[in-house]
Structure 1
């Protein structure tokens, strides 16, 4: 049987709230050691995909810390279209240089809305050119439901689409969007598996956009507790059981957090009615519009 780790992708994060001792407050050498430990833990577990963004110091840290030989396939995201097509191409090349990679697994348009505007075709053609030159094996985009990802996929035929779907906001699955993307030939990576941290947040720490849905969120937590499920185990079980998903992206800030994620992913799949845990559409839409909650994964295990 394949391991759940085979379908996990990791996105390394360095926010001080997540890893105060691993990255932000440590000397440069210690931060590189922490990243090296995180990547080696992922490699030993069989995790194969690393998702990156062109911001902060993560790309440089990754470039200093890859295990050798590296087992990872790396996805890279573009900067905004407002920066210009030349800047998008230059930054994508720079991402590979910073990570010490001759090529990447995939280059993803960070905001699918950029593909719907007047320069959308030119942007896609620029990505296709980078693929044709061998810098990236695949091209695709990151999208929300509001971007009309299925329509975009039929028009552009992307190799890969990254889209949010989680325990609280299941609309991409229940509304058939994941099935449509797969039918269009796209590989699907599931994002926001932890619902931007809402699954780990107490009522008083909810962002204003979700304050009106605190009761519904409390009800979900109560149902999980009654089923003897912690939120992380439930979130990963839901996402890993989506039949269309090729990979489930989990953000981790340390090797300890990754070990906690791996333990939860390997826990026996619960017999539970997932649909009973989904928020109603208005709350799910608010979840998609809310800012990320700065959280720490319980890494005591």
Structure 2
């Protein structure tokens, strides 16, 4: 067990760092995510909505945008970057089940759609792709893209169940992205984040809002999490008693993790982003972080995401 100790500095991360310096944004284009999401705008206004979101992030000091090859997100981003753009961009691959040639072609296409000559990070989207029969061929192919200068760094996305530290020793990635949040603190308590950082890997933390569960009512929980309703209610009650907003607590926990070089928050609109930035700058609460975790956090890894629009 490796306990997490939150910094007491108001609005600052470890060693007085500006928390926004670690904040990364994953733009979500699901229409149901928020009432004023990018994709809820009329087709002709979506680019303007994306431009407003990105400019809001740039003005706040956000430096990292995390993308994935789905829907129309990459094209919208490519048409809406502020100029000059302050952002470093991470891109995710398609599944190796489509073939390594397709993985390479789609990684190149992502840069074209984003309007970028090169990307900062290319991530294998599923660590299971590396553990399979084509894992080495896949890694060699994305490493070749790095060697050609199309991406500055390469890595993979993983969960606790993937054994990320072992995979990192095998493939020696530059970056590993994995979920870690208030409800599932296993990467901290089991020492995985520290082990990755000790290997020289840059750690990016995702799912910081626990797939929306921090904001869900007990009645709205999906069936596979119904048994955890009491534990979730208990965690929210502890936050309420401490007068801490769930979003503020989630960001304080993730941004205060010393091994985390980036904390990825999903955002669907400029309004959500403003709420996230405000929560990140809020005074850091003094909480018993371990008491907020679920007893069986692996259950969070499956099932659909829930909306956070009510919180944002």
Aligned length: 297
Q: What root-mean-square deviation, in Å, do the aligned CA atoms of Structure 1 and Structure 2 show? A: 1.0
- 1:253 match: 268
Is the CA contact (8 Å cut-off) linking 2:215 and 2:311 kept in structure 1? no
- Change over 3 Å in CA distance of 1:152–1:47 after alignment to 2: same
Is the CA contact (8 Å cut-off) linking 1:11 and 1:50 kept in structure 2? yes
- 1:178 match: 193
Is the CA contact (8 Å cut-off) linking 1:209 and 1:287 kept in structure 2? no
How far off its partner does 1:8 sit? Answer: 0.1
Is the CA contact (8 Å cut-off) linking 1:75 and 1:106 kept in structure 2? yes
Q: Distance in 1 between matches of 2:290 and 2:39?
A: 39
Alignment of 1:98-177 (within 5 A): 98-177=113-192
How far off its partner does 1:19 sit? Answer: 3.4
How far off its partner does 1:15 sit? Answer: 1.1
257, 260, 285: which is aligned to 2:298? 285
- 1:93 match: 108
Is the CA contact (8 Å cut-off) linking 2:96 and 2:129 kept in structure 1? yes
199, 213, 225: which is aligned to 1:198? 213
Q: Distance in 2 between matches of 1:46 and 1:25?
A: 26
1:242 aligns with 2:257: yes
1:230 aligns with 2:238: no
When normalised by structure 2's length, the TM-score is: 0.93
Superposed CA deviations along residues 246-294 of structure 1, whole A, max 9, x for unmatched, are 01000001111000000000001111110111111x2x01111232113
Is the CA contact (8 Å cut-off) linking 1:22 and 1:31 kept in structure 2? no
When normalised by structure 1's length, the TM-score is: 0.97
Is the CA contact (8 Å cut-off) linking 1:150 and 1:180 kept in structure 2? yes
- 1:62 match: 77
Consecutive aligned runs of 4 or more in structure 1 exceeding 4 Å deviation = none
Tell me, what secondary structure is at the counterpart of 1:10?
strand
Q: Distance in 1 between matches of 2:198 and 2:165?
A: 9
Q: Distance in 1 between matches of 2:18 and 2:117?
A: 29
| Structure 1: unaligned runs, 5 residues or longer | none
How far off its partner does 1:29 sit? Answer: 2.8
Tell me, what secondary structure is at the counterpart of 1:246?
strand
- Change over 3 Å in CA distance of 1:236–1:296 after alignment to 2: same
Q: Distance in 1 between matches of 2:216 and 2:29?
A: 19
Q: Distance in 2 between matches of 1:105 and 1:131?
A: 10
Q: Distance in 1 between matches of 2:22 and 2:101?
A: 34
Q: Distance in 2 between matches of 1:140 and 1:24?
A: 29
Is the CA contact (8 Å cut-off) linking 1:18 and 1:296 kept in structure 2? yes
How far off its partner does 1:297 sit? Answer: 5.0
Is the CA contact (8 Å cut-off) linking 1:51 and 1:76 kept in structure 2? yes
